[in-house]
Amino acid sequence: MRSDQERLKLVAAYLSGQLDAAERNDFELWINASPEHQRIFEEASRIWENSGAKLRLPVDETDRLWLELKSRMEQPEKVFSLWGMSATTLKVAASVVLVSLITYFLWPDTRQQLASDKTTSLDDISVSAGDHVATIYLPDSSRVWLNVNSRLTYAKNFGQAGRRASLEGEAFFEVTPDKHSPFTVATQTTLVTVVGTAFNLRQQGSDVTLTVSEGEVQFSGKNNEQKVAVKAGEKAVSANGSEPARSKNDDTHFEAWRRASNPEFEKEKLDPAAYLTARYTWRKNAINQSVIEGTVTSKAALADYRDVVLKITYLKPNGSRNTVRLKIDETVKAGARVNFQKRLFDIFTNTRSLEVEIESAAVATSVY
């Protein structure tokens, strides 16, 4: 079979007039060399001779087609939506998926909570940061950065029956919103109550300083139960358990300690590609361009990435690879995501496969 194909390759070249005089001569010698060759040649010639007729459309519809084209020429460019679906269909589909996901994730949680209410554990977990900043993920997916020489203590069943923690030293809290379960942090002399915010809490000697970066925090001293509401951009100091004194926060670097001697942040700085993932869809639009749409997601805790460069490699039918780069102008903030879209100029190529990788990124430093 393999050799048949080789022979027919030669026959095809002969029949289609690819051979020069000398090659034709050789070919004719080859035909006459064996009856087998003759038979192959005759069969192929018969096919060739009987395939010369070109099909033609019976009716010339140029007039009608011109009018059709003309009206399309005057229309503004169509927006092609994913897989030919309408935007509404996609939105509906997305909502269905979202609702199912939410149900799926919430349902077991609810059941677990009901069960654990009966068996409340009194055990506490205590985390101490030595000479490195520690990052702690609480069971309710709140995040805490614990400064060096500080300690955070919370109940083993944290999140199941209230969210209470206590702090010695300094920590930055990023609290997952849950209005049914207030999040409280106690120091020796103060109490902080929040619903879902980000704030920094520092205990230094007998002074406790609260700085809020997002949302609102209720702050009170132990000697004076009066709660003070501290908003984003403000800070409050409670001296020795007294009523906190609120003021505007001028120190934009109040939480910069999180990036100093923090091994996690060092890793994020060294290897941005490890913290960024690109998810994308790829399709050909009506004019046969590859359209790539996707999202770059950062799982970095602290580093903001700028100048993210995506490397798009696509494989052409002839086996050659082309590389196109796409720089994302937006900064990909820690833990955030950024959408991107790219159209390739591969109109004449039936691109076989395509890959998008994160090539490089720089850590945005201006903020620190």
Partner 1 sequence: MAGPSQADFEKIFREHNRSLCDLAYNFVRDKDAAQDIVQEVFLRLWKNREGLNFGDKIKHYLFKATAHYALNHLRYNKKISRVGDEPLQHLVASSGTEELGYKELELRVRSAIDRLPPKCRAIYLLSRHEGLKYSEIADTLDLSIKTVENQMGIALEKLREDLRPFLTVEFLTISILVALIIFSFFS
Which parts of this chain interact with partner 1 (CB under 8 A)? 4-13, 16-18, 39-40, 42-44, 46-48, 50-58, 60-62, 65-66, 68-70, 72-73, 77, 284, 286-288, 316-318, 347-350
The dihedral formed by the CA atoms of 175, 177, 182 and 184, expressed in degrees to the nearest 10 = 10
Among residues 76 and 130, whose Cβ is nearest to partner 1? 76
> How far apart, in whole angstroms, are the C-alpha atoms of residue 221 and residue 243?
5
- Non-local (6+) Cβ contacts of 48 within 8 A are 15
CB of 12 to partner 1, least distance (A): 4
In angstroms, rounded to a whole number, what is the distance separating the alpha carbons of residues 237 and 189? 11
For residue 246, what are the β-bridge partners? 236
Min separation Cβ 344 and partner 1, Å: 14
> Is the Cβ–Cβ distance between 215 and 232 less than 8 Å?
yes
Smallest distance from partner 1 to CB 281, Å: 16
Question: Which helix or strand (DSSP H or E) is residue 30 part of?
Answer: helix 21-33
Question: Measured from the CB atom, is 18 or 141 closer to partner 1?
Answer: 18
In terms of Cβ atoms closer than 10 Å to its own Cβ (0-12, 13-18, 19+), residue 312 is: buried
229 contacts 217 by C-beta, under 8 angstroms: yes
Enclosing H/E stretch for 14: helix 2-15
Of the pair 47, 245, the CB lying nearest partner 1 is at: 47
Residue 66 or 107: which CB sits closer to partner 1? 66
| φ, ψ dihedrals at 244, nearest 5° | -65, 140
- Amino acid residing at 163: R
* CB of residue 56 to partner 1, shortest distance in Å: 5
Nearer to partner 1, 54 or 180 (CB): 54
CB 70, min distance to partner 1, A: 8
Nearer to partner 1, 76 or 108 (CB): 76
Residue 200 CA to residue 146 CA, distance in Å, equals 10
| Structure-token pair, residue 42 | 């005759």
- Whole-number Å distance between alpha carbons of 48 and 53: 10
In which region does residue 17 sit, left (phi positive, over 0), alpha (psi from -120 to 50) or beta (all else)?
left
Instruction: Read off φ and ψ for residue 11, nearest 5 degrees.
Output: -60, -45
In the complex with partner 1, the residue whose CB is nearer, 21 or 122, is: 21
Cα separation, 171 vs 354, in Å, equals 45
Of 149, 218, 182, the closest CA to residue 210 belongs to 218
**Closest approach of Cβ 292 to partner 1, in Å?**
18
Nearer to partner 1, 350 or 366 (CB): 350
Least Å distance, CB 55 to partner 1, is: 5
Give the residue with the Cβ less far from partner 1, 334 or 354. 354
Minimum distance, C-beta of residue 279 to partner 1, in the bound complex (Å)? 24
Query: Which residue in 213, 212, 221 sits closest to 245, CA to CA?
Result: 221
> Which residue, 40 or 136, is less far from partner 1 as judged by CB?
40
Minimum CB–partner distance for residue 320 and partner 1 (Å): 9
Coil, strand, or helix at residue 64?
Answer: helix
Q: How far is the CB of 18 from partner 1 (least distance, A)?
A: 6
